C-alpha cells in the first residue's frame, strides 16, 4: 500500500484523552439533538420542521469534528438527494448534483445555486465555483432541494448556502494542522472575537497534497473574513471577503482497462500536454440590514469580485484557456411578518441583479507550453440577469400553512470576437417561475406537506461556446447560441416528525420532468458541445433520520433512491480516436450519466458526556452510475467504512483537540467519480484505498 496507516495514531489519541467528568449513571443518558434553524427555504428565520421543503442543515460538528475540512463532499454526503463525487482532481472541482440536476457539468457546479454568507458563488450564467468555500471557518451549511429552490431563479436545481461562524465575546486565536496519506497537509490560523458592537472572524489556511493519483498534486490557499457591525438597535452591517489561490495538476480520466491495471495512474495525455489549472479569485461584499418596524426588515446586498483561470487541456488546438472574469451584483429584499384577519402572515419580496464579464483567450498547447496560433480565440463574453420575486406564507390556523411564490427572470448571454474569428452573438432568456405548497401538522411533532414548482435552467457561457459540428468535424465554429433554456416542473410529497431532542425523521417522494434539458451533444479533443434533449425526468425517494440512543450513542442515516432517465430519444454524434464520426441514438429509458441510482450514509457516534472523547463509524454506499448518455459504460456501485476518533482537553486558557481518521477501512477499490461522455472513453476517476489523516487544533482565549 502506498501510504500505510500509522498504528500509533489511535494509541496516541487514547493517551491524550482526558478523563470524563461524568459519574454514575450519567453515561447512560443521551445528549439532546439540537433544534435546526434555517433561512434558505423562505428567506425568513424558521425551524426546519416548519418548512414545506426538503432542507437539511449540516452543523458545526459535522463540518469540523475529526474532518479534513478540505472539500464540501465530506459533509454533503450526509444529505439525501445530493451526490458530491470527489474526483481526486482539484483542477476540476467536485461533481455535485441535486436530485440529478447538475450531473453533466464538465467542471465546477452547474444547475445548483451556491451562496457564502449571502453572496452568490454562482455567476449570472448559472456556472458555480466552490473552491473559495473555506470550511475551516464555516459554522453550518444549508442544503435546499425540490420545488422551493426554484425561487432562486436560473439554474436552481438545488441550493447550497454556507454560513461563516461568528466570533464569541473576547478574543480567540486558533492555529490548526493536519497531515496524512499522499503527502497531504493542511495548516492555518483563525482569529475571532467580539468587542463592543463589532463581531469578527478571519481565517487563512493552506493545503498541499501530492495526490492519490499520478500528476494530481495541488497547492491551495484560502482566506475568509467576516465583520459584523451593530450600528444601532435596528441596524446591522455585515462585511465579508474571501480569496483563493489554486495550483493543481490534472490527471484526467482513465479507460476501463487503465483503471483495472492501475487506478492511481494519470490518464493518456496528462503528461504529454502537462494538463493543469491555476485559479486566483478574490471577492467581497456587504449586507446592510435595517429593521423598519415591529414586523418589517429591509436588506441590501452588494458584491464584487474577479477570477483569473488558466487551464491546460489535453488538446493541441485551443488547448490553453486563459479566462479573466469580473463579477458583481446587487440584491434588495423586504421581509414582513404580521397578521391578516387573525392569521399569521409572512411576506418576502425582492430584486436580484448579477453580471459577469469574461475575457476568454486561448492558445495552442504544445507539450505543455502555450503557443500563439491562427485558431486562437479572443472573446469578450458576458452574462447578465435581472430578477424580481415575491413569496408569501399564510397560516389559517396552528396546523395549516400555505405558501405561494413567483419569480420573473431575465438572463442574457453574449460572445463578441476581438479577432478574426466570428462573433457568436447574443441570446436573451425570460421566464416566470413559481411554487406553491401546503403543510399540515397531523400532530404537534409531525407534519405532511405537498409542494409544486416550475423552474428554468439556461445554458452557461461555456455551453454556448462550441457548435456540435465544429467539435466533431472541425471547420468553422459558429457557436451554439440557439440553445434553449431547460424548463422543469416538479412535485414533492414529504413528511417530518420528531421527538424534541431525541429523534428526527424526514422523508420525501419527488418527481421532476424537464423539457429541453441541456445535455452533451459532442465531445472531442478537449472540447464539448451541447444540445437540448426533448424530455428527461428525475424521480425518487429521500429519507433522513437521527436518533439519540442510550450509552451516549447517536445514530444518523441518509438514504437516496433516484431514477434519472431520458424520456424521449435524441441523436448525438460521436468522433472516435481515429477521427471517424458516427450518429448514435440516446434511447428513451437510458439513465442520465453521472447520477448514482442509490446512495446511503450511516453513522454511529459515541461521545463522553463531557465531550472529551468520541469515536464514530461511518458507512457509505453508492449504486452504479452510467458514464455516458448511450449507457455503454458504467461505474459499479461500492460500499466503504470509515473510522474516526477525537479527543479534547482544557489546558488553562487553551482548548485543544486532536483527531485521527481512517477512510476506506477495508481498502476497497472503486471508482469515485466519472467524466461524463469523455470522448476517448477515459471516463473513470479512481478513489483512494485505505488512507489516513490526523490533526491537532488549539484555541487560546485572551
pLDDT digits (tens, 9 = 90+) for 368-394: 999 999 989 999 999 999 999 999 999
Determine the 3-state secondary structure of 285 from DSSP: strand
Determine the 3-state secondary structure of 522 from DSSP: strand
- The helix or strand, by DSSP H or E, that contains position 453, with its residue range, turns out to be strand 446-457
Tell me the sheet residues that pair with 479. Answer: none
Cα dihedral across residues 339, 345, 346, 349: positive or negative? negative
In Å, how far from its chain's centre is CA 472?
32
Beta strands (DSSP E) in 254-342 are 276-293, 296-312, 320-340
Is residue 1 classed exposed, middle or buried when 0-12, 13-18 and 19+ CB atoms within 10 A define those classes? exposed
Residue 3 lies in a domain: no
Residue 19, pLDDT score: 40
Q: Does 647 have pLDDT greater than 60?
A: yes
Reported residue count of the chain is 702
Determine the 3-state secondary structure of 411 from DSSP: strand
Residue whose entry in the numeric block shows the C-alpha cell 492555518: 188
Write out the three cell numbers for 381: 463574453
Q: Could you read off the pLDDT of 5-46 as tens digits, one per residue?
A: 554 444 444 444 444 433 333 444 445 677 788 787 777 788
Contact call for residues 85 and 95 (beta carbons, < 8 A): yes
- Rounded distance, CA 261 to CA 267, Å? 12
Q: Where does the pLDDT of residue 577 fall: very low under 50, low under 70, confident under 90, or very high at 90 and above?
A: low
Q: Does 576 have pLDDT greater than 80?
A: no
Residue 528, pLDDT score: 86
Q: Where does the pLDDT of residue 150 fall: very low under 50, low under 70, confident under 90, or very high at 90 and above?
A: confident
- Rounded distance, CA 680 to CA 527, Å? 12
Instruction: Phi first, then psi: give them for residue 680, nearest 5 degrees.
Output: -95, 20
Q: Does 153 have pLDDT greater than 80?
A: yes
Q: Where does the pLDDT of residue 522 fall: very low under 50, low under 70, confident under 90, or very high at 90 and above?
A: confident
Exposure letters 518-549 (e unless 16+ CB within 10 A, then b):
bbbbbbbbbbbbbbbbebbbbbbbbebbbbbe
DSSP for residue 666: T
Sequence-distant (6+) residues with CB within 8 A of 402 are 393, 394, 395, 396, 436, 437, 438, 439
Write out the three cell numbers for 44: 425568513
Within 13 Å, how many C-alpha atoms sit on residue 88's CB side? 29
Residue 110, pLDDT score: 84
Residue 1 lies in a domain: no
Distance set, CA 104 to CA 383, 563, 650 (Å): 21, 15, 48
Within 13 Å, how many C-alpha atoms sit on residue 601's CB side? 21
Instruction: Identify the CA nearest to 325 among candidates 108, 590, 505, 23.
Output: 108
Neighbours of 666 (CB within 10 A): 9
- Rounded distance, CA 296 to CA 334, Å? 7
Residue 244 lies in a domain: yes
Tell me the sheet residues that pair with 695. Answer: 178, 659
Residue 329 lies in a domain: yes
DSSP for residue 267: P
Contact call for residues 423 and 117 (beta carbons, < 8 A): no
DSSP for residue 419: S
Residue 42, pLDDT score: 72
Contact call for residues 475 and 507 (beta carbons, < 8 A): no
Q: Could you read off the pLDDT of 324-361 as tens digits, one per residue?
A: 999 999 999 999 999 999 999 999 999 999 999 999 99
- Rounded distance, CA 445 to CA 498, Å? 6
**Domains held by the chain: number:** 1
Q: Does 131 have pLDDT greater than 90?
A: no
Q: Does 219 have pLDDT greater than 80?
A: yes
Q: Does 280 have pLDDT greater than 90?
A: yes
- Rounded distance, CA 355 to CA 358, Å? 10
Tell me the sheet residues that pair with 200. Answer: 193, 227
Contact call for residues 86 and 687 (beta carbons, < 8 A): yes
- The helix or strand, by DSSP H or E, that contains position 523, with its residue range, turns out to be strand 503-524
Residue 31, pLDDT score: 59
∠ Cα 501 507 509 (to 5°): 170
- Rounded distance, CA 72 to CA 78, Å? 11
90 Rama sector, left if φ>0, alpha if ψ -120 to 50, beta otherwise: alpha
Q: Could you read off the pLDDT of 466-516 as tens digits, one per residue?
A: 998 888 877 788 999 999 999 999 999 999 999 988 999 999 999 999 999
3-state secondary structure 18-63: CCCCCCHHHHHCCCCCCCCEECCCCCCCEEHHHCCCEEEEECHHHH
Q: How many helices (H) and strands (E) does the chain have?
A: 5, 40
Pairing assessment for the beta strands 400-417 and 425-443 based on DSSP bridges = antiparallel
Q: Please give the model's pTM, rounded to 2 decimal places.
A: 0.93
CATH number at residue 348: 2.40.170.20
Q: Where does the pLDDT of residue 1 fall: very low under 50, low under 70, confident under 90, or very high at 90 and above?
A: very low
Distance set, CA 274 to CA 312, 317, 319, 370 (Å): 7, 15, 11, 11
Within 13 Å, how many C-alpha atoms sit on residue 255's CB side? 8
Write out the three cell numbers for 360: 476568454
Could you tell me the residue range of the domain that residue 186 belongs to?
Answer: 8-701
Share of the chain above pLDDT 70, in %: 95
- Rounded distance, CA 542 to CA 509, Å? 7
Sequence-distant (6+) residues with CB within 8 A of 116 are 132, 133, 161, 162, 164, 240, 242
Mean of all residue pLDDT scores within the chain: 91
Q: Could you read off the pLDDT of 430-464 as tens digits, one per residue?
A: 999 999 999 999 999 999 999 999 999 999 999 99
Contact call for residues 416 and 452 (beta carbons, < 8 A): no
Distance set, CA 646 to CA 173, 346, 607, 614, 701 (Å): 20, 43, 9, 5, 21
- Rounded distance, CA 64 to CA 72, Å? 11
Amino acid at each position: 500500500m502506498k501510504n500505510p496507516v500509522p498504528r500509533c495514531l489511535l494509541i496516541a489519541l487514547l493517551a491524550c484523552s482526558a478523563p470524563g467528568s461524568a459519574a454514575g449513571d450519567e453515561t447512560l443518558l443521551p445528549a439532546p439533538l439540537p433544534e435546526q434553524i434555517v433561512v434558505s427555504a423562505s428567506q425568513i428565520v424558521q425551524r426546519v420542521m416548519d418548512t414545506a421543503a426538503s432542507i437539511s442543515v449540516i452543523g458545526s460538528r459535522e463540518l469540523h469534528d475529526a474532518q479534513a475540512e478540505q472539500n464540501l463532499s465530506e459533509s454533503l454526503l450526509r444529505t439525501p438527494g445530493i451526490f458530491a463525487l470527489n474526483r481526486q482532481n482539484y483542477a476540476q472541482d467536485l461533481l455535485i448534483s441535486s436530485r440529478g440536476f447538475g450531473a453533466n457539468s464538465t467542471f465546477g457546479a452547474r444547475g445548483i445555486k451556491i451562496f457564502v454568507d449571502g453572496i452568490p458563488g454562482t455567476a449570472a450564467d448559472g456556472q458555480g465555483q466552490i473552491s473559495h468555500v473555506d470550511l475551516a471557518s464555516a459554522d453550518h451549511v444549508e442544503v435546499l432541494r425540490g420545488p422551493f429552490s426554484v425561487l432562486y431563479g436560473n439554474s436552481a436545481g438545488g441550493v447550497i448556502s454556507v454560513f461563516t461562524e461568528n466570533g464569541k465575546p473576547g478574543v480567540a486565536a486558533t492555529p490548526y494542522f493536519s497531515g496524512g496519506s499522499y503527502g497531504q497537509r493542511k495548516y492555518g490560523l483563525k482569529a475571532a472575537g467580539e468587542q463592543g458592537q463589532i463581531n469578527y472572524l478571519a481565517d487563512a489556511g493552506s493545503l498541499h497534497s501530492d495526490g492519490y493519483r499520478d500528476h494530481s498534486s495541488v497547492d491551495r490557499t484560502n482566506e475568509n473574513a467576516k465583520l459584523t457591525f451593530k450600528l444601532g438597535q435596528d441596524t446591522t452591517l455585515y462585511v465579508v471577503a474571501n480569496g483563493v489561490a489554486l495550483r493543481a495538476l490534472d490527471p484526467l480520466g482513465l479507460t476501463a482497462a487503465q483503471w483495472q491495471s492501475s487506478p492511481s495512474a494519470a490518464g493518456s495525455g496528462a503528461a504529454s500536454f502537462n494538463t493543469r489549472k491555476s485559479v486566483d479569485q478574490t471577492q467581497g461584499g456587504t449586507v446592510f440590514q435595517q429593521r423598519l418596524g415591529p414586523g418589517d426588515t429591509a436588506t441590501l446586498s452588494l458584491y464584487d469580485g474577479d477570477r483569473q483561470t488558466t487551464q491546460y487541456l489535453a488538446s493541441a488546438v485551443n488547448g490553453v484557456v486563459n479566462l479573466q472574469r469580473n463579477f458583481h451584483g446587487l440584491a434588495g429584499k423586504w421581509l414582513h411578518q404580521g397578521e391578516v384577519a387573525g392569521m399569521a402572515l409572512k411576506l418576502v419580496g425582492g430584486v436580484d441583479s448579477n453580471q459577469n464579464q469574461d475575457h476568454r483567450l486561448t492558445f495552442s498547447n504544445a507539450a505543455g507550453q502555450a503557443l500563439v496560433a491562427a485558431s486562437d480565440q479572443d472573446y469578450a463574453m458576458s452574462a447578465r440577469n435581472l430578477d424580481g420575486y415575491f413569496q408569501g406564507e399564510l397560516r389559517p390556523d396552528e396546523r395549516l400553512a400555505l405558501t405561494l411564490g413567483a419569480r420573473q427572470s431575465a438572463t442574457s448571454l453574449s460572445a463578441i470576437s476581438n479577432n478574426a474569428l466570428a462573433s457568436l452573438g447574443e441570446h436573451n432568456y425570460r421566464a416566470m417561475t413559481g411554487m406553491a405548497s401546503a403543510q399540515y401538522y397531523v400532530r404537534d411533532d409531525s407534519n405532511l406537506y405537498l409542494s409544486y414548482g416550475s423552474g428554468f435552467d439556461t445554458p452557461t457561457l461555456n455551453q454556448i461556446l462550441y457548435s456540435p459540428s465544429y467539435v466533431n468535424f472541425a471547420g468553422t465554429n459558429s457557436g451554439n447560441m440557439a440553445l434553449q433554456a431547460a424548463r422543469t416542473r416538479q412535485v414533492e410529497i414529504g413528511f417530518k416528525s420528531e421527538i424534541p431532542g431525541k429523534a428526527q425523521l424526514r422523508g420525501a417522494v419527488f418527481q421532476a420532468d424537464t423539457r429541453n434539458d441541456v445535455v452533451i451533444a459532442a465531445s472531442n479533443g478537449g472540447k464539448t458541445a451541447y444540445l437540448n434533449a426533448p424530455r428527461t425526468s428525475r424521480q425518487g425517494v429521500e429519507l433522513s433520520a437521527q436518533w439519540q440512543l442510550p450509552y451516549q450513542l447517536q445514530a444518523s442515516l441518509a438514504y437516496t433512491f433516484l431514477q434519472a432517465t431520458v424520456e424521449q430519444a435524441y441523436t448525438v454524434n460521436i468522433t472516435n480516436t481515429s477521427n471517424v464520426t458516427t450518429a448514435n441514438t440516446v434511447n428513451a429509458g437510458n439513465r442520465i450519466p453521472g447520477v448514482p441510482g442509490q446512495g446511503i450514509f450511516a453513522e454511529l457516534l459515541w461521545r463522553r458526556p463531557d465531550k472529551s472523547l468520541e469515536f464514530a463509524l461511518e458507512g457509505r454506499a453508492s449504486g452504479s452510475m452510467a458514464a455516458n448518455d448511450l449507457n455503454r459504460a458504467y461505474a459499479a456501485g461500492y460500499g466503504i467504512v470509515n473510522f474516526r476518533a477525537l479527543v479534547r482537553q482544557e489546558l488553562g486558557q487553551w482548548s485543544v483537540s486532536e483527531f485521527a481518521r481512517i477512510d476506506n477501512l477495508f481498502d476497497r477499490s472503486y471508482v469515485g467519480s466519472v467524466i461524463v461522455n469523455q470522448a476517448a472513453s477515459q471516463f473513470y476517476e479512481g478513489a483512494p484505498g485505505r488512507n489516513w489523516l490526523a490533526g491537532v487544533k488549539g484555541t487560546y482565549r485572551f
